[in-house]
């Protein structure tokens, strides 16, 4: 049976997981032809099956004394090249299929970083939005009470993702430390004065911009003076805008799940400081930006629309940094029509398969998430190294390593795409290079 059909028949409801698997399988066919041992060891069927799936009940009490129950998950996908590593997502949409897609992507992403990290992902359908700090704390403590049995600094090292930032990592770490009686690097994204690394908060956004700069440089171009469309307004979007501004590009959009802002004049340093305060301290909505800066317009989401108007503004660059499947075929066609040169995915799988085909058919420089957003997990890997050594590197040192890693990932993808006869196809480059590394490690370690 075809492997994608097999995956679908085993778990018919896991749509996002099917999508992520289908994309990788499509890319790696030529690798399997060149390496018959991958076929004889049945690597593909093994790699699409998580090594372990943990699901648990997370009961917690709200401020009124009412008891709620959420679902907790951790997908330990693949440990061929290192301990499981990947973020935790707290969002009401979270289910097994979404976390399996994210864990699957993480396996190849982590392989591309050149650091020793396997792939995992976890989270909960808990919605931190509108909850008090005390409620978030009680939820995180209940979640970690169970998760702590399954993770460890040499086993499985979670981090942040949507809905899990510095505050949540703090509460999770506190409970882990208490129940295990261990102060270790079991989570990354920790606070700076208790084991965190400089540049980890910035890393995903900065990395995605570095990756775009590399793609443009490969064509003799740069980000300077170029307009950029950014989606999202969370961790990744904020630091994407920060680095874009620093490199002379002009971010003109950003969004949340209720709508988006178009600021024709561009977001500058002062406006970005406002966004950071609005989102991170006040936990507000992006609509407030248009009240503060009347030159900007706020466009609410139209649930009936067949496309996202954010992607229909004229710009040279696009940085989807919110969530999966936020660029469909029509959005991709609009970007192409308006002259986009480069798309660098800060989010995981933000483009639908039809959207990806549209970019590739039009020779757009398209950096898929597992390459373009690998900066976050890379600096998580550097945080683990610093924790193991019990010392910390300077901001400049970590940033330099991050830049080097993103350059390497870019070169690996470019060279691999070229070797397989599809120059500048970063999708093939990333999937093939990531897969080959993990597959070889699985063969070396036997049938386990």
Q: Which is nearer to ligand 2IT, 352 or 380 (CB)?
A: 380
Residues 6+ apart with CB under 8 A from 255: 231, 232, 233, 237, 261, 286, 310, 322
Residue 376 interacts with ligand 2IT (CB under 6 A): yes or no:
yes
- Of 3-11, 124-132, 258-266, 374-382, the segment contacting ligand 2IT by CB under 6 A is 374-382
The reply on whether position 159 binds ligand 2IT by CB under 6 A is: yes
CA dihedral 101, 107, 110, 115 (to 10 degrees): 160
Complex with ligand NDP: residue 120 or 346, whichever CB lies closer? 346
> Other CB atoms closer than 10 Å to residue 301's CB: what's the count?
15
With CB cut-offs between 5 and 8 Å by kind, which of ligand NDP, ligand 2IT, none does residue 86 bind?
Answer: ligand 2IT
The angle formed by the CA atoms of residues 225, 406 and 253, to the nearest 5 degrees, is 40
Distance of CA 103 to the CA centre of its chain: 10
Using CB atoms within 10 Å of the CB of residue 16, give its burial: 0 to 12 exposed, 13 to 18 middle, 19+ buried: buried
Contact residues for 281 (Cβ-Cβ < 8 A; gap 6+)? none
User: Which among ligand 2IT, ligand NDP, none contacts residue 85 (Cβ within 5 to 8 A by kind)?
Assistant: ligand 2IT
Q: Is 86 in the site for ligand 2IT (CB under 6 A)?
A: yes
Question: Applying CB under 6 A, does 377 fall inside the site for ligand 2IT?
Answer: yes
The answer to whether 227 is a known catalytic residue is: no
Cα Rg of the chain, angstroms:
21
Partner from ligand NDP, ligand 2IT, none binding residue 188, C-beta < 5-8 Å depending on class: ligand 2IT
Residue of minimal Cβ distance to ligand NDP: 234
Q: State which of residues 50, 87, 320, 367 lies at the interface with ligand 2IT (CB under 6 A).
A: 87
Among 78, 308, 380, 386, the residue binding ligand 2IT under the rule CB under 6 A is 380
Q: Output the six-digit token pair for 147.
A: 């998760």
User: At its nearest, how many Å lie between ligand NDP and the CB of residue 326?
Assistant: 6
At closest approach, how far in Å is the CB of 378 from ligand 2IT? 8
- Complex with ligand 2IT: residue 191 or 248, whichever CB lies closer: 191
Give the Cβ contact number of residue 243 at 10 Å: 21
Q: Which is nearer to ligand NDP, 162 or 413 (CB)?
A: 162
Of residues 182, 90, 184, the one with CA closest to residue 139: 90
DSSP lists the bridge partners of residue 84 as 156
Q: Which residues contact 381 (CB under 8 A, 6 or more apart)?
A: 85, 110, 113, 115, 116, 117
* Per-residue mark of binding to ligand 2IT, 334-373 (x: CB under 6 A): --------------x-------------------------
Distance (Å, whole) CA 110 – CA 309: 33
Residue 139 CB contacts under 8 Å (≥ 6 apart), including other chains: 58, 60, 70, 124, 126, 128, 131
Q: Which does 234 bind (CB under 5 to 8 A by kind): ligand NDP, ligand 2IT, none?
A: ligand NDP
Q: Residue-wise over 41-61: b if at least 16 C-beta within 10 A, else e?
A: bebbeebbebbebbebebebe
434 near ligand 2IT, judged by CB under 6 A: no
Query: Rounded to 10 degrees, what is the CA torsion of 366, 369, 371, 376?
Result: 140
Contact call for residues 96 and 56 (beta carbons, < 8 A): no
Query: Which chain residues interact with ligand NDP by CB under 6 A?
Result: 91, 93, 160-163, 165, 204, 232-237, 256-258, 321-323, 346-348, 373, 376
Nearer Cβ to ligand 2IT, position 205 or 251? 205
Q: Which of 121, 190, 279, 330 is catalytic?
A: 121
323 contacts which partner out of ligand 2IT, ligand NDP, none, CB within 5 to 8 A by kind? Answer: ligand NDP
Partner touching 347 among ligand NDP, ligand 2IT, none, CB below 5 to 8 Å by kind: ligand NDP
Which of 34-42, 83-91, 331-339, 415-423 is the region at the interface with ligand 2IT (rule: CB under 6 A)?
A: 83-91
Residues 160-179 that bind ligand 2IT (CB under 6 A): 161
The option from ligand 2IT, ligand NDP, none interacting with 163 (CB < 5 to 8 A, set by class) reads ligand NDP
The one among 8, 18, 85, 190 contacting ligand 2IT by CB under 6 A? 85
CA dihedral in degrees (181, 185, 190, 194; nearest 10)?
Answer: 60
Q: What angle do CA 350, 356, 361 make, to 5 degrees?
A: 155
285-324 residues near ligand 2IT, rule: CB under 6 A: none
Nearer to ligand NDP by Cβ, of 258 and 394: the residue is 258
Please, which residue, 221 or 312, has the CB nearer to ligand NDP?
A: 312
Catalytic residues: 121
Q: Which residues bind ligand 2IT (CB under 6 A)?
A: 85-87, 106, 109, 159, 161, 188, 348, 376-377, 380
């Amino acid at each position: 049976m075809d492997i994608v059909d097999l995956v679908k028949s085993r778990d018919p409801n896991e749509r996002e997981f099917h999508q992520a698997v289908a994309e990788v399988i499509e890319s790696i066919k030529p690798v399997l032809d060149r390496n018959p041992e991958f076929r004889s060891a049945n690597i593909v069927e093994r790699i699409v099956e998580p090594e372990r799936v943990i699901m648990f009940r997370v009961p917690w009490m709200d401020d009124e004394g009412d008891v709620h129950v959420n679902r907790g998950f951790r997908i330990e996908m693949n440990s061929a090249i290192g301990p499981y590593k990947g973020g935790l997502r707290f969002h009401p949409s979270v289910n097994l299929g979404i976390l399996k897609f994210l864990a699957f992507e993480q396996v190849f992403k982590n392989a591309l970083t050149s650091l020793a990290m396997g792939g995992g992902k976890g989270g909960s359908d808990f919605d931190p939005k509108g909850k008090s700090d005390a409620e978030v704390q009680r939820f995180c403590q209940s979640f970690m009470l169970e998760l702590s049995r399954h993770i460890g600094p040499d086993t499985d090292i979670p981090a942040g993702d949507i809905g899990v930032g510095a505050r949540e990592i703090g509460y999770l770490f506190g409970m882990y430390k208490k129940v295990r009686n261990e102060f270790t690097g079991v989570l990354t994204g920790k606070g700076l004065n208790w084991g965190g690394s400089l540049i980890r908060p910035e890393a995903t956004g900065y990395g995605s911009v570095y990756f775009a700069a590399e793609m443009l440089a490969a064509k003799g171009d740069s980000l300077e003076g170029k307009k950029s469309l950014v989606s999202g307004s969370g961790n990744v979007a904020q630091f994407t805008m920060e680095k874009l501004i620093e490199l002379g590009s002009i971010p003109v959009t950003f969004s949340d799940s209720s709508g988006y802002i178009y600021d024709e004049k561009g977001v500058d340093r002062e406006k970005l400081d406002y966004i950071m305060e609005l989102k991170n301290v006040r936990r507000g909505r992006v609509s407030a930006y248009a009240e503060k800066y009347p030159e900007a317009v706020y466009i609410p989401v139209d649930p009936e629309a067949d496309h996202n108007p954010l992607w229909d503004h004229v710009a040279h660059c696009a940085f989807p940094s919110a969530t999966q499947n936020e660029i469909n075929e029509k959005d991709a066609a609009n970007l192409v029509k308006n002259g986009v040169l480069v798309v660098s995915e800060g989010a995981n799988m933000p483009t639908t398969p039809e959207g990806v085909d549209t970019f590739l058919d039009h020779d757009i420089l398209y950096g898929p998430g597992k390459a373009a957003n690998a900066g976050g997990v890379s600096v998580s890997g550097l945080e683990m190294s610093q924790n193991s050594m019990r010392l910390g590197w300077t901001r400049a040192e970590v940033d330099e390593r991050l830049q080097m890693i993103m350059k390497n990932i870019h070169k690996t993808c470019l060279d691999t795409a070229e070797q397989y006869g599809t120059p500048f196809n970063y999708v093939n480059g990333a999937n093939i290079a990531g897969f080959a590394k993990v597959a070889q490690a699985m063969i070396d370690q036997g049938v386990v």
